[in-house]
Structure 1
């Protein structure tokens, strides 16, 4: 079985002030603490005031020697040209009002800091590979992965294992919905829809540079069209550009990328709050679309709502 090095990052972008999406630093530290028992080597990029706290958590699990935490002074200095263009595009009212579901106020629709910091995950994995001369399989894993047990994986002790899996020499992405190549990217953005799960991505070390270049070019292409979105749409666009480099895994739950690929021992609760959150969101989307006169789309979302509401199933 192949060993896997994990790269992650967390930066305070003021999320504690986002109505309906409030999460402060302490919340994210608790999220990280839930999965930080994993015995793999971990590289973390973060604000300088959180460096010692992250080391402390890993040290409490006897894993400090398998941990590197790097402070970043200002994330906006990483890709100033891209950040500037993202700000320009997301300040445009036409771009904001393009979304069907702007009333839901999803951060990828209005918050440039969110879209920028989620895009940087591709940069940070590539940086870690270069700075630390990493070889073998490298995984991005969100700092807040599984939201401290709220997204299905219920036992923190299940992370007390060494994650290994023989992934092929491709870029591995995990799709929570069957990819439809005939659907234009603008329609996915307009509906705030998701295909690729950005919380976990895996590739051999020599593939991440290509992946980063594909994602950056994808973001530039999107911005040139007056759109902006988060890392999940960008990953999908990268796949469209060079699909032969990728292996897409269709999954049922957001955590299946680790559970189904080396973490089969994980205990989970498929009826966790994520299910209820989904059916409420679909019901709301159906109502908004109906009010806008989009009857066909409204019916499609209402069917998804019923699927979640009655069966408690996943996409």
Structure 2
């Protein structure tokens, strides 16, 4: 079995709410994962990021690539900037102050996720199985709460399909049109974690390029989440959507079973019965008695024990 390579990126795009130190603290939480991690960033951040991996003696499983953002797709970056300049991306949007409505560089950075992965593949620093994981995943301890537990190897579980890009959704389905979603800004597919093999990532990159050009032709730009949905609707054969009930809980799909049962997370922010429901839906091959036990557990936490407790 191929070990999963994690690819991520950090670029300071001038966000006022979160600076370098905050993002470094976010990365610090999961920097102990034992997978090979490839990180794209700028020269000034290289050593600071590497230091986080050195604390876990994982510098040998870390590749940091310094590459400027405009080196990936300058033509599209210029088109995005021009669209923001000529057309108001906040108009009629549900959350007009969100960064994707006001920052062309942010939208471009979100668009580049498959570009980072494909660049790493072309450099020969990625394995056959590749995960994109946002640099700020988990936002410190927003869901998982003990960074000392993040010292294991992420591995794909049984519901992951290798030759497709695997996305994770926080709703059962999305029936609205793309324009309606652009305005209501309601999220369907989680944008912080994707998984696939090498070929699927190159297909994904091509689809993202097509999607961006389509959006730009209508004089609109958005972050990656709506573009992920566009990909699944136009190329459904290339994507696998897995239902999750917590944003950062999507990582459970890669945590080994023996660790999954012990890892700490915030039940007080989670309707725990939904996580059990997710496990039931994804447990196709479990024995009858084990499934019955899971159903009883689901009923117990949904209807009987409704206390908000921290595991």
- TM-score if structure 2 supplies the norm length? 0.81
Counterparts in 2 of 1:261-280, with a 5 A limit?
Answer: 261-263=254-256, 264=260, 265-272=262-269
> Which stretches in structure 1 are left out of the alignment for 5+ residues?
276-309
- 1:207 has 2:204 as partner: no
**Offset at 1:94?**
4.4
**Offset at 1:311?**
9.7
| Match of residue 4 from structure 2 | 4
Q: Deviations over 1:169-215 (max 9, x none)?
A: 221000012232x4111110101111111110000112100001101
Determine if contact 2:128/2:198 at 8 Å carries over to the other structure. yes
- Aligned counterpart for 2:18 among listed residues 23, 47, 54: 23
Residues 61 and 95 from structure 1, CA distance in 2 versus in 1: closer, same or farther, beyond 3 angstroms? closer
- Aligned counterpart for 1:44 among listed residues 29, 34, 39: 39
Aligned mates of 2:87, 2:49 — CA distance in 1: 39
Determine if contact 2:7/2:131 at 8 Å carries over to the other structure. yes
- 1:174 has 2:171 as partner: no
**Offset at 1:87?**
1.3
Aligned mates of 2:7, 2:79 — CA distance in 1: 27
| Match of residue 100 from structure 1 | 94
- Aligned counterpart for 2:185 among listed residues 182, 187, 192: 192
| Match of residue 106 from structure 2 | 114
| Runs ≥4 residues deviating over 3 A | 92-95
**Offset at 1:241?**
1.3
- Aligned counterpart for 1:245 among listed residues 238, 256, 279: 238
Number of residue pairs matched by the alignment? 267
- Aligned counterpart for 2:140 among listed residues 113, 137, 148: 148
Determine if contact 2:4/2:130 at 8 Å carries over to the other structure. yes
- Aligned counterpart for 2:115 among listed residues 108, 116, 123: 123
SS in 1 for 2:268: coil
**Bigger shift: 201-210 or 258-267?**
258-267
| Match of residue 220 from structure 1 | 213
Aligned mates of 1:271, 1:126 — CA distance in 2: 38
CA RMSD of aligned residues (A): 2.0
**Offset at 1:256?**
2.2
Determine if contact 2:156/2:253 at 8 Å carries over to the other structure. no
Determine if contact 2:87/2:219 at 8 Å carries over to the other structure. no
> Which stretches in structure 2 are left out of the alignment for 5+ residues?
272-305
| Match of residue 296 from structure 1 | none
Determine if contact 1:177/1:195 at 8 Å carries over to the other structure. yes
